[in-house]
Structures are given as structure tokens and as C-alpha cells.
Chains A and B, each alone.
Chain A
């Protein structure tokens, strides 16, 4: 049975690594449902598998066993090419170290995901402008990453993540490289995207303060989830 309202369903998800002759289980038989419009913070100690889980949700890695369903369709058994197309259509990624292309301007960086669509050049430009406007970076559109601060780069990265209007934003320690003030600004932006635009956000973080911006906190420890309620 699949949950019609669920964006993601994880069923009996396992991930194991082989280290020499030893097989190490990151997590085993994990079940979870993520609904459309959720803002989830995944927390847990180092090595607990937070990033691995995010990779599985983003179609970057494959599980050792179990299923990852997105809108009721399995994505864990798609080919590399199908996964690439799935990511382009459905997922926006935000990295800890921004990962902008150093040779491109902010606007060109934001435009990158749109190259995978059939939008015209004019339509792409409008989308880029809107995305940069949402993150307050329109006036820096012509700047290269090297000319921007860390916080500004992360804003551009967020604009790149939302420009193709994906259903889910996957963020791995999005504020891990930023000072508190800038981190709060970024988290407020993510919160805005969740509340105002209804974006589903799954964020991995070590930072309890960052996690406090999320609607749900899931703690991954020893291969199991523990959900902690929000006040």
C-alpha cells in the first residue's frame, strides 16, 4: 500500500558498505514517510548515515535493499540516465560549500538547471531573475562566485536549487560554513520557501538551532529514526 499524500516513502531501506571482508550496515530496514510540504531536519552523530540517506532521497546513491518511492513511483531502480532526468525535474540541491561554477556569473549559475528544460532563452532569464529576487540577489546577478561572500554564494545556490521549481529541496549542512547571522538569514529563506511556496525541504544538519527552523526533527542513530516533537 502506498500513501497517496506522501511525497517520499521509504520501505525497508538498508544501506551497507563493504570494507575489506567486513560488511558495515549504515542503517537497516528503515521505514519513513515524508509528506508534501514537510520541512524536515535530519540530525544525528557523525557517521550515522544522514548524508547517505539524503543521497538515497536525491537519487544519487542506491540502497542495498528496500525501496525509495517518490510520489508512489520507485526511484531506486531507475537507470543512471533516468535518475539524472528525475533529479532535473524533481529535486533541488543545496550544498554546504555552495558548489557554484567559478567561471559563471551568479545568473548563469542559477540558469544551469534550466538548460535541461525546453524553456526559451527569454523564459529562462525571467525565471532566473525571479529566483534571484526570492533570495535577494538580483543586484549581484553579474558577479562571479569569487566576488561574493559565503552567505551570498549560498543564496545563489538556493536560487539555483529552486529555479526549475522542483518538488523537493535537499540541503546538506546548508549553514555549516556560515556565521550565525548569515546562517539565520539562509534558514529564514528556506523557511520562507517552505511556508510561502510550499516546497518540501529535507535538511541534514548538526546544528540544533538550524534544526529548530524545521517543522520536524528526525534523529538518526544506530540505524533508527527517532522523531522529536516540535513545540
Chain B
């Protein structure tokens, strides 16, 4: 036996209470882990490169198209090295619930816009550039539907209509792309803009956004202003921001995940703090007599303080670690279920470290008062008589 035995025995002396407390902590960390993982998915592809690329959309919002002619004019703006137009296809495969995130892009400029993020073998790259009915798919999406190079698939759009009267585009999968950095999503499909555009029954010669690489990222503010000034007072004014800001705005359509995360976790932890804190104070008060006995036997006040504090930390870490483990499992399941909408996601090292810090903080905050109270126990008062 040692102090750890005493701490463990004290924690589980009322097993149901300890388990309920642990479950409440577990739930808080489960929420923290799942929301944290979800936030990781929403911020995927927002690395340094995304800070250096620009995106131009219609000032109204990105669902309102821009005229095709803007592409050429933007390429003429001083400092623009590459401009890649893209249209939202809004695809699905076989059934409307099989959502396929798909864009009609200019292959040459789009691949140039993402030189390190999109990794495509040279032969597949050449095939994509050449073949008008060619499409390339990201690894995650290919895995989801079991597609591979050489497959021919019908991709339906829930927005556009083909000139043949259908909403289906036949596509040849000419390549499967990967992501070198592990942070860029591979859950989407790219088809040829020309093939898409020429077969449209309505809405031709327009695009939804244009991705821009500049010669010098330090000039991005000036370039953004120049582009937007170019189309000021036109029927389709533009708004140019960094790609990271654009992605963030796009994801905020689903809600401000960061804010939701902060509020939900804040509320959960405030509640847990009060419940665990109060229960720990009560649990130690119930043991006043036993603490007095320990002091009588010669246990010093710092030692008793440490034991109560460690008990609180043990409770916090037991509940927290199980909650975090469940969150990892739940995030994995959610990532599979949402593979078509979101890039692969899970708990990051930062999530885990933050959770460990929160567990320590929770244990310390809820343990300090009862630990302090335990040291203040006066033997003669607690025992009445020795």
C-alpha cells in the first residue's frame, strides 16, 4: 500500500458517485474532442499556401456567377502569375444522397494553382489536360465510391442541365490525386470547364470563383484592391480575399464552428466545474474525521493537500482520457459518414494537448478548495476527543 492506494480508495469509496462524476467529465471531453476534430476538418487546406493564394468571387456571394471575360482581365492585373477559374457543379453519383463535391475547372491553370497540394502522376496529369471528358478525383473520394483510373462514371448535377435534356455528364476518370502535406482535402472531383461549359443548357460562360497565384504575396493586398477596382460599379462587382478567408467564409455557411466550439465547451466545462467542484468539497467534508485521524497518525498537511489534489486530478484524467478516446472513435465514424462533404479529419496533436491541459486545469481547480479545507481540519475539533 502507498499514498496512491489511499487516493484510489478514497475516490471510489462511493462508486456510483465517482462513476457519475467521471461520466460527466467524459461527456465534456467527448464534446470537446468531436467538435475539435470537426473544426480541424473545416480548417483543412488553410495552411500557409492558402494565406498566399487569392480568391475572387462575386461581391454578392460566391454562388452568384462572374462573367467568363473576367478571367482574362484578372490575368492582366500586375503581379498576377496565374488565375484559375472554377464553377460549382453540385454533383451526385447515382442517387442524390451520394453527394460528390465537384468543380468544373480549367485544368492547366487549376493544377498550376495548387502545385504542391495536388499530386497527380505525370501520365494522369497529361491525360487530364488533354481529354475533354476527363475528370480527376481525390483519393478520399475515389476510395469512397471505389473509383479508379479508367472508370467511366455518370455524374449528375442538381443545378445544371445538359443540352441533351438530362442533368448527367459522362466522365472518364483519368487520374486520382493525392495530397502531399496531409492537410489538403482529397474529397472532390475536377472536370473540364470547357466540356462542362459547352454542354450547358443555360448559364454558359460564367464561373463562380477564380483562384489567383501572385508573384509576390507581400503585394496581395494591393493586387486584391486592383482586381476589385477593375470591376467596381459593374453589374458583377468582385470581392477578392485570401483563399484561407474564403474557405473560412465558406465553412461559416454551416455555422461559426469556432464560436460554437467555444460556447459549447465553455458551457460544458463551467457546468462540470461546478458539479465536480461541489462534489469534491462534499466528499472531503464527509471525510473530515478520517483526515483528522491521518493527521493524528503523523501525516503532514502538505501530504494531505497533495493527496486530495491528486484525487481530484485522477478523477479528471480518468473521465477526460476515456472521453477523449471515445471522441477519437466518434470522430473517425463521423469522418467516414461525411467523407463526401469534408476532408478526412480526426483529433490533432494540438487537440490532445489542449485536452490534457484542460484535464489538469479541471483537476486542479476542483481540487484546490477541498485540498485546502483538508489541511485546515483541526484534529481536536474533528474528533471531538482523540
The 19 sampled A-B contact pairs (Cβ below 8 Å) are: A54-B386, A55-B379, A58-B296, A60-B379, A81-B300, A81-B301, A84-B295, A84-B298, A84-B300, A86-B298, A95-B386, A99-B289, A99-B293, A101-B6, A104-B1, A113-B297, A115-B3, A116-B297, A116-B299
Q: Which residue of A lies closest to B292 (CB)?
A: A99
A124–B298 alpha-carbon span in the complex (Å): 17
Does the CB pair A58–B2 fall under 8 Å?
no
Digit string of B348-386 for contact with A (CB within 8 Å is 1, else 0)?
Answer: 000000000000000000000000000000011001011
A88–B303 alpha-carbon span in the complex (Å): 13
A87 at the interface (CB under 8 A from B): yes
Contact of B5 among A60, A108, A116 (CB under 8 A): A108
Within 8 A of A (CB), among B273-302: 289-290, 293-302
Does the CB pair B300–A96 fall under 8 Å?
no
Main secondary structure of the interface of A (DSSP, over half): helix
Does the CB pair B383–A95 fall under 8 Å?
yes
Most buried by A among B290, B293, B296, B300: B296
Does the CB pair A87–B297 fall under 8 Å?
yes
Within 8 A of B (CB), among A75-109: 80-81, 84-89, 93, 95-96, 99, 101-104, 108
Within 8 A of B (CB), among A41-55: 51, 54-55
Q: Which A residues are in CB contact (< 8 Å) with B204? A: none
Does the CB pair A103–B13 fall under 8 Å?
yes
Q: Which residue of A lies closest to B287 (CB)?
A: A101
Q: Which A residues are in CB contact (< 8 Å) with B299? A: 84, 88, 116
A182–B306 alpha-carbon span in the complex (Å): 39
Within 8 A of B (CB), among A109-123: 111-113, 115-116
Q: Which B residues are in CB contact (< 8 Å) with A87? A: 296-298
Q: Which residue of B lies closest to A124 (CB)?
A: B1
Shortest beta-carbon distance from A2 to chain B in Å: 25
Q: Which B residues are in CB contact (< 8 Å) with A103? A: 9-10, 13
A88–B294 alpha-carbon span in the complex (Å): 10
Digit string of A29-65 for contact with B (CB within 8 Å is 1, else 0)?
Answer: 0000000000000000000000100110010110000
Within 8 A of A (CB), among B1-17: 1-3, 5-6, 9-10, 13
If A101-B293, A108-B1, A108-B5 touch, whether A96 touches B385 (CB-CB below 8 Å) is: yes
A116–B304 alpha-carbon span in the complex (Å): 12
Shortest beta-carbon distance from B384 to chain A in Å: 8
Shortest beta-carbon distance from B307 to chain A in Å: 11
A67 at the interface (CB under 8 A from B): no
Q: Which A residues are in CB contact (< 8 Å) with B2? A: 115
A162–B19 alpha-carbon span in the complex (Å): 37
A61–B382 alpha-carbon span in the complex (Å): 13
A79–B385 alpha-carbon span in the complex (Å): 21
A226–B385 alpha-carbon span in the complex (Å): 23
A156 at the interface (CB under 8 A from B): no
A173 at the interface (CB under 8 A from B): yes
Contact of B380 among A60, A81, A96, A173 (CB under 8 A): A60
Does the CB pair B298–A111 fall under 8 Å?
no
Does the CB pair B296–A60 fall under 8 Å?
yes
If A55-B380, A101-B290 touch, whether A113 touches B13 (CB-CB below 8 Å) is: no
Shortest beta-carbon distance from B372 to chain A in Å: 15
A5–B265 alpha-carbon span in the complex (Å): 68
7 interchain residue pairs of minimum CB distance: A88-B298, A103-B9, A51-B385, A87-B298, A84-B300, A99-B293, A60-B379
If A93-B296, A108-B5 touch, whether A99 touches B301 (CB-CB below 8 Å) is: no
Q: Which residue of A lies closest to B297 (CB)?
A: A113
A58–B298 alpha-carbon span in the complex (Å): 11
A96–B293 alpha-carbon span in the complex (Å): 12
A170 at the interface (CB under 8 A from B): yes
Shortest beta-carbon distance from B119 to chain A in Å: 58
A172 at the interface (CB under 8 A from B): yes
Within 8 A of B (CB), among A2-49: none
Does the CB pair B3–A55 fall under 8 Å?
no
Q: Which A residues are in CB contact (< 8 Å) with B386? A: 51, 54-55, 58, 60, 93, 95, 170, 172
A71–B300 alpha-carbon span in the complex (Å): 22
A87–B302 alpha-carbon span in the complex (Å): 16
Q: Which A residues are in CB contact (< 8 Å) with B300? A: 80-81, 84-85
Q: Which B residues are in CB contact (< 8 Å) with A96? A: 385
Shortest beta-carbon distance from B302 to chain A in Å: 8
Q: Which A residues are in CB contact (< 8 Å) with B379? A: 55, 60
Contact of B385 among A80, A88, A108, A173 (CB under 8 A): A173
Shortest beta-carbon distance from A97 to chain B in Å: 9
If A58-B386, A99-B383, A173-B385 touch, whether A88 touches B297 (CB-CB below 8 Å) is: yes
Q: Which A residues are in CB contact (< 8 Å) with B298? A: 84-89, 113, 116
Shortest beta-carbon distance from A27 to chain B in Å: 16
A212–B220 alpha-carbon span in the complex (Å): 99
